[in-house]
A = this chain, B = another copy of it.
Amino acid sequence: MSEPKQVFAENVRALRKQQNISQDKLSKLTDIDRSYIGRIDRGEVNISLDKLYEIAKALKCQPVDLLPSINYSED
């Protein structure tokens, strides 16, 4: 299974593209550094709750829309 930060990255990217929001624009909307947005986009960083909410607000979605569920049946 992919790590949460990787699935998060894919979900952010999908919503960004749907809404025509570039990484630059997301950086401005969230006040998160442009290079950090790039690292988020590549699934490299374990973002904090604060940043999760900033990004969700910029994409007008809920945190849950960006996060993978835990599959307990796999255990």
Contacts and interface: CB of A to CB of B under 8 A. Distances in A.
B63 A67 contact: yes
A15 interface: no
Nearest to A64: B64
Number of copies: 2
A48 B46 CA distance: 5
Interface in A18-47: 46-47
A72 B59 CA distance: 12
Contacts of A63: 4, 63-64, 67, 69-70
Contacts of A62: 69-70
Interface of A: 4-5, 8, 46-53, 56-57, 60, 62-64, 67, 69-70, 72
